[in-house]
């Protein structure tokens, strides 16, 4: 009986922790490091922030490139600069099949040991 109570407590605690994590991720508080392409002009200086957007992949396209339905990190478009494939820190949900476009506020970072950009979700349509 004591073992059953212990298992039940762990199950409840795990459910609560998962619920908190899921809520924090949904609200954009969890950082995800992703490999993606991002447009960046050469004059984008360290610390500068730009408004950006990314398309949401539908099931067909996502499947063709090995991503999940609703993936929002296939590319991030910030300006008319060249595409750069690199690690970007994302704050926001990675899969949003209920939307078509995701809006970001991206900042260029200077730390050579971290991602070159950090993007926080600001909206969706």
- Total of domains in the chain: 1
Q: Which residues contact 71 (CB under 8 A, 6 or more apart)?
A: 56, 57, 62, 94, 95
pTM of the full structure = 0.83
- The answer to whether position 11 is within a domain reads no
Domain assignment of residue 103, yes or no: yes
Could you give the CA distance from residue 62 to residue 70 in angstroms, rounded to a whole number?
A: 7
- For the chain of 125 residues, list the mean pLDDT of each consecutive stretch of 10: 80 79 77 94 93 96 91 96 93 96 94 77 96
CA–CA separation, 62 and 69 (whole Å) = 6
Full domain range(s) for residue 66: 32-124
CB of 106 closer than 8 Å to CB of 117: yes
The pLDDT, as a whole number, for residue 112 is 54
Say whether 66 sits in a helix, a strand or coil. Answer: coil
100, part of any domain: yes
Residue 77: inside a domain: yes
Query: How far apart, in Å, are the Cα atoms of 30 and each of 42, 62, 80?
Result: 29, 23, 29
Q: Does residue 54 fall inside a structural domain?
A: yes
Query: What's the half-sphere exposure (Cβ side, CA atoms, 13 Å) at 108?
Result: 15
């Amino acid at each position: 009986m004591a073992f059953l109570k212990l298992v039940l407590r762990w199950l409840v605690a795990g459910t609560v922790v998962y619920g908190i994590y899921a809520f924090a991720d949904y609200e954009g508080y969890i950082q995800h490091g992703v490999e993606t392409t991002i447009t960046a002009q050469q004059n984008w200086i360290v610390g500068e922030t730009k408004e950006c957007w990314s398309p949401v992949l539908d099931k067909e396209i996502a499947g063709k490139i090995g991503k999940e339905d609703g993936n929002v990190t296939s590319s991030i478009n910030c300006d008319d600069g060249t595409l750069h494939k690199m690690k970007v820190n994302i704050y926001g949900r990675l899969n949003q099949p209920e939307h078509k476009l995701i809006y970001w506020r991206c900042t260029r970072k200077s730390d050579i040991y971290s991602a070159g950009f950090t993007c926080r979700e600001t909206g969706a349509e």
